[in-house]
Amino acid sequence: YFVKVAWAWTFWLLLPFITVTTYQFAKSKLLYGRMKSILAVLRRLSTLLVGTAIWYICTRVFMYIENLTGACSTSGKVSEPRGIWNGFDISGHCFLLSYCALMIMEEVAVLEGLSIDQNSRLRVVINALFVSLCFLTMIWVFMFLSTALYFHDFSQKLIGALIGLSAWYGTYRSWYLKPFSPGLPLPNIPLSSKKYSYSR
């Protein structure tokens, strides 16, 4: 059941992380004022709305495909009056877990561009959120492996994982690079300037 609400866990941990890191990044690196920093936060938080839409649409499509391709079969035993629905059940777990893990990895990349005082409370908050997101990612990877070993058949798992990868690629590697999008966690920062910034 824990995996069925994977998007909720991911959403509620990324919400404060994106808010705090984007605001801090906008103020310290981009030198935005208060209002422009808040607008940057709202723009980045729309990433979670996009993720929610992807989750909702994909799970509905998966259920539709299962209903469309399925048929009810019964064992014929008197003790089991209910039938079993057999349809092509695309692995929603493989889809969601791969998408959530990749999304978390993309969002924590902002730490490469942040510079925060070692002894500040903000650093403690960001570190706590970061550790929580890392722990959650480890759970998602473990659950993904468990699903891969024990549930669905190969084609159902493969299609689910490919849809998760496609959703990540379509957003973070394509759409979010465009001006009319939620944008990336580290906008317009060259790789050479990102390295080791958070540790200062």
Note the pLDDT of residue 29.
72
List the beta bridge partners of residue 86.
71
Note the pLDDT of residue 165.
93
Are 75 and 58 in contact by the 8 Å Cβ rule? The answer is: no
Structure tokens at 17: 């992380």
Note the pLDDT of residue 17.
94
- Judging by DSSP bridges, how do beta strands 71-73 and 84-86 pair with one another? antiparallel
Q: Is 93 a catalytic residue?
A: yes
Q: Is 34 a catalytic residue?
A: no
**77 burial via Cβ count (<10 Å: 0-12, 13-18, 19+):** exposed
What single letter denotes the amino acid at residue 200? R
Note the pLDDT of residue 160.
87
pLDDT along the chain (200 residues), means of 10: 79 93 81 82 92 92 82 62 70 87 91 76 89 92 82 82 93 89 71 43
Note the pLDDT of residue 194.
44
Note the pLDDT of residue 89.
75
DSSP letter string over 55-89?
Answer: HHHHHHHHHHHHHHH-EEE----TT--S-EEE---
Out of 26, 93, 100, 168, pick the active-site residue. 93
Residues with Cβ within 8 Å of residue 85, at least 6 apart in sequence: 66, 70, 71, 72
Runs of H (alpha helix) within 29-153: 34-69, 92-108, 121-150
Note the pLDDT of residue 110.
85
Q: DSSP 3-state assignment of 14?
A: helix
Q: How far apart are CA 9 and CA 136, in angstroms?
A: 8
Out of 95, 129, 143, 152, pick the active-site residue. 152
Q: How far apart are CA 38 and CA 101, in angstroms?
A: 26
